[in-house]
Amino acid sequence: MKWRNVFAIVKKDLTEVRQNKAAWMPMVIAPAIIMLLLPLGIILLPQMSAASMQSFTDTQDLGAFLNNLPANMTSGLQGLDGFQTMIVLVLGYLLAPMFLIFPLAFSSVVAAESFAGERERKTMEALLYTPASDFELFAGKVITALIPALGVSWMSFVGYTIVLNAAAFPIFGYIWFPITSWYPLIFWITPALAMLGISVTVLVSSKVQTFMGAYQLSASLVVVVLGLVAGQMSGVLYLSVGTGMLVGLFFWVIDAALFYVAVRNFKRSSLLLGIKS
């Protein structure tokens, strides 16, 4: 494999993604709302109202809620007052799976733009006649989708960490985030979900003719993440370090199978037929 051909494809595709607002605008807006504005609201707004603060620190209601949670989750809340407990519980534990929406959704957007978008712009045929082999062409497309998905996800994690610690430092008096369970979430499950989004989008893109068609079908995978969110909030599933490693391994196994199928189905001859049909 000639990496020069791969990186040439990556450079070209990233330039086209940057020029397509439909591809990169969600990468800016969604993290800003979910990972920056939401935690600020949860931390700062209750302090502006005595009634809101009372609801956060009501030990009777809080105790009843904590009794329904796994012991592994509540063990990290020992020694905290009511408001501190709610901050750690909501922003440190319950909303953690929401972070997994980013790599899945963003990789699907960029992969759809990279594959189906080429066909929609009528540029696929010229690309397929380049000296790059089928695998080099496929690798370039995959790396194109993987770089921004992981980049935005990890940068959002850094921004989330800064916002949480800066806004909550007057309340805690120390830096409390990130907690241990976030490390497998960010560095193990996040890449696995990005690859899942890419693999599914590659397969979908070979069947549809437009960017929106490929994106809408592959973005339905967000339902998987919403299931993790529901499980964490209900106490049925707690993404501890061990559970996070197992969940990530599960997704990597699926990735390997889908990636194998995607590579076998990625042939420029079939794509050319798709263009001409």
Nearest Cα neighbor of 186 from 160, 154, 213, 163 is: 154
Least confident of 36-45, 144-153, 213-222: 213-222
Nearest Cα neighbor of 116 from 196, 234, 7, 207 is: 207
Q: Model-level pTM?
A: 0.81
Q: Is the peptide bond before 178 cis (omega within 30 degrees of 0)?
A: yes
Whether 276 has a pLDDT exceeding 50, the answer reads no
Higher per-residue pLDDT: 88 or 9: 88
Cβ atoms of 32 and 159 closer than 8 Å:
no
Whether 154 has a pLDDT exceeding 80, the answer reads yes
What's the pLDDT at 15? Answer: 81
State the Cα torsion 113-114-116-117 to the nearest 10°: 60
**Confidence class of residue 125 from pLDDT cuts 50, 70 and 90?**
low
Higher per-residue pLDDT: 145 or 273: 145
What's the pLDDT at 277? Answer: 45
> Which residue reads 């998987």 in tokens?
224
Nearest Cα neighbor of 80 from 59, 55, 49, 50 is: 59
What's the pLDDT at 275? Answer: 45
Here the tokens at position 214 are 């490929």
Nearest Cα neighbor of 101 from 21, 31, 159 is: 31
What would the pLDDT profile of 73-103 be if each residue is shown by its tens digit? 777 778 888 788 888 888 888 888 888 888 8
pLDDT mean across residues, the chain: 77
Distance CA 156, CA 64 (A): 33
Distance CA 184, CA 190 (A): 8
First and final C-alpha spacing in the chain: 30
Here the tokens at position 168 are 């909550």
What's the pLDDT at 238? Answer: 66
Distance CA 234, CA 69 (A): 8
What would the pLDDT profile of 107-117 be if each residue is shown by its tens digit? 877 777 766 66
Largest CA distance in the chain: 69
- The number of beta carbons lying within 10 Å of the beta carbon of residue 153 is 26
What's the pLDDT at 110? Answer: 77
Strands (E), 74-162: none
Whether 66 has a pLDDT exceeding 80, the answer reads no
What would the pLDDT profile of 192-212 be if each residue is shown by its tens digit? 988 888 887 777 765 655 555
Whether 121 has a pLDDT exceeding 60, the answer reads yes
